[in-house]
């Protein structure tokens, strides 16, 4: 059994290859979501710290060993990093549980899978190939080369800090960029620990830097003139602020934002599987995931039976210490998020939704120190209710009836978001054809919450811009450059003024 240390660890920034204190000399407390007690102190970076981190990344990009390193060598460093992450998976998982309260079983699963991102993009590093186009002009050669963009700002959220950071780091580094990471102020410890592994793997100083703190730190990073690209995962409001700031300097941006994902259960579904998928889709991680299937669309003919099974299964979930193997649902990561979830539960009740399970704070032995919300199921929900349209980010699911496939598609797409969707059916025709009609970046059929380093991830509409993961994600961190090479004497362009030759000009002047 894991034993929590009572010592409070003071963390450091990581800039230009070394750990160092904040220039402000100030820290904020990081609370363990289960005990409520302080377990670490996180430095608040100053504007000067951010400037030094970005300049270190810029130096590493333009001069020194990283700038001169071959793609094959970069790939080997990423492979070495993957090995180190695998060796330190247990420690990294424990740090994340202390920070965000997710289940240790889930965090260990993530950490043991995490090396695959570094292996995959390490393998792609020397597969970035340009091309030669068929010449349209005699004696003119044209080729395309792909070059790294420069300094990348990677801003990650608190719910899955390292995984969502790796989605940015791995392709950015494989492409030859350098990175400044700004983790959430609620979950910085694991990223600061990972920074040491970059050093151990042999990455040159300045290639990866980590600055911590709140919104002002992120703002300084986004607005820094040497930052060329921003990769952000977080809430819609934060994404909008990043997008607006980046637009002023025409910086490249990718945004992975929120969701209000439909999980659609048809009458021909395997109900046992669908119930388990529905529970895992919204109650896993206490609902604190952007892809949560928080709108559960159930066909009218099976609605009552399905809800009965759903309630019976969900009410067996055990709340408690996320470090324990027998815990199914851990605490909410932060007090503000805890209060937001409780507020939405009251909003749903006021709107007329029927609470058939949970509906408030969970209390009892072993839950005294943390912020726990009981798994909550609402029925009688219409798609116009706030509980069906706004992201709760908690263990709350809204059950919405539908009669026909057409109605299900209409309800599913009737939202500002478009991150993910689930479909439960035994119909081969529906399984193949329905995903094309759903406005979502990821669609699972008879599954939910499956991700892969091979599979592009991102959203439609307010769920974001761009894609992470998969082989095409590396192009998000590259610039295409056209090179025209004239192999003949003379200027071959038809648009050049008809000037006399050099010899004619010399003769005329004499």
- Please identify every residue annotated as catalytic: 256, 290
DSSP collapsed to 3 states, 493-508: CCCCCCCCCHHHHHHH
Cβ atoms of 293 and 398 within 8 Å: the answer is no
Q: Which of 11, 10, 9 is nearest to 192 (CA)?
A: 11
**CA-CA distance, 295 to 292, in Å (whole number)?**
9
Residue 509: in which H helix or E strand, if any? helix 502-509
* Residue 220, phi-psi category: left (phi > 0), alpha (psi -120 to 50), beta (remainder): alpha
Helix axes 71-87, 89-100, angle to 10 degrees: 70
203 three-state secondary structure: coil
Q: Which of 402, 413, 406, 471 is nearest to 125 (CA)?
A: 471
At 447, list the tokens. 């599954």
Cβ atoms of 442 and 420 within 8 Å: the answer is yes
Per DSSP (E only), the strands in 131-246 are 131-133, 140-148, 151-155, 178-182, 208-210, 227-233
Cβ atoms of 395 and 287 within 8 Å: the answer is yes
DSSP 435: G
Q: Which of 287, 87, 288, 97 is nearest to 190 (CA)?
A: 97
Cβ atoms of 33 and 332 within 8 Å: the answer is yes
At 3, list the tokens. 């034993």
Whether the CA torsion 493, 495, 498, 504 is positive or negative: it is negative
80-94 residues labelled b (16+ CB within 10 A) or e (exposed): bbbebbbebbeebbb
Tell me the helix, strand and coil percentages in the chain, rounded to 5: 40, 20, 35
**CA-CA distance, 228 to 373, in Å (whole number)?**
41
356 three-state secondary structure: strand
């Amino acid at each position: 059994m894991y034993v929590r240390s009572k010592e409070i660890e003071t963390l450091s920034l990581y800039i230009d290859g070394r750990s160092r204190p904040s220039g402000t000399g100030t820290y904020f407390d990081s609370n363990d979501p289960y005990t409520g007690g302080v377990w670490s102190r996180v430095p608040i970076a100053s504007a000067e710290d951010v400037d030094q981190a970005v300049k270190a990344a810029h130096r590493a990009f333009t001069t020194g060993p990283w700038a001169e390193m071959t793609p094959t060598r970069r790939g080997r460093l990423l492979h070495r990093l993957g090995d180190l992450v695998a060796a330190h998976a247990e420690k990294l998982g424990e740090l994340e549980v202390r920070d965000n309260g997710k289940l240790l079983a889930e965090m260990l699963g993530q950490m043991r899978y995490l090396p695959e991102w570094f292996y995959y993009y390490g393998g792609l590093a020397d597969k970035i190939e340009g091309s030669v186009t068929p010449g349209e002009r005699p004696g003119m050669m044209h080729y395309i080369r792909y070059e790294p963009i420069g300094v990348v700002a990677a801003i990650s959220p608190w719910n899955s800090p390292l995984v969502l950071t790796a989605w940015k780091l791995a392709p950015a580094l494989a492409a030859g960029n350098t990175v400044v990471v700004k983790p959430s102020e609620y979950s910085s410890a694991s990223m600061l620990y990972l920074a040491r592994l970059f050093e151990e793997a042999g990455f040159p100083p300045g290639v990866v830097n980590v600055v911590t703190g709140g919104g002002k730190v992120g703002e300084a990073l986004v607005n820094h003139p040497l930052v060329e690209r921003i990769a952000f995962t977080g809430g819609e409001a934060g994404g909008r602020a990043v997008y607006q700031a980046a637009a002023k300097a025409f910086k490249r941006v990718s945004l992975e934002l929120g969701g209000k994902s439909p999980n659609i259960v048809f009458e021909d579904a395997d109900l046992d599987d669908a119930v388990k998928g529905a529970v895992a889709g919204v109650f896993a991680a206490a609902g604190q995931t952007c892809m949560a299937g928080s709108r559960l669309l159930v066909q009218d003919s099976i609605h009552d039976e399905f809800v009965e099974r759903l309630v019976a299964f969900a009410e067996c979930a055990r709340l408690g210490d996320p470090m324990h193997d027998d815990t199914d649902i851990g605490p909410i990561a932060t007090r503000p998020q805890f209060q937001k979830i409780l507020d939405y539960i009251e909003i749903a009740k006021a709107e007329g939704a029927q609470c058939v399970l949970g509906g408030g704070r969970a209390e009892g032995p072993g839950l005294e120190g943390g912020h726990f919300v009981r798994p909550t199921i609402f029925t009688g929900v219409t798609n116009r209710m706030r509980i069906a349209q706004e992201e709760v980010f908690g263990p709350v699911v809204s059950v919405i009836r539908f009669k026909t496939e057409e109605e299900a598609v209409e309800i599913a797409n009737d939202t500002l978001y478009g991150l993910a969707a689930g479909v439960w059916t035994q119909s081969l025709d529906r399984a193949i054809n329905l995903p094309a009609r759903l406005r979502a970046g990821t669609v699972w059929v008879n599954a939910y919450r499956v991700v892969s380093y091979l599979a592009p991830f991102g959203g439609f509409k307010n769920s974001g811009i761009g894609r992470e993961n998969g082989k095409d994600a590396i192009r998000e961190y590259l610039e295409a450059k056209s090179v025209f090479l004239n192999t003949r004497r003379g200027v071959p362009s038809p648009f050049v003024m008809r000037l006399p030759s050099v010899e004619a000009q010399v003769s005329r002047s004499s």
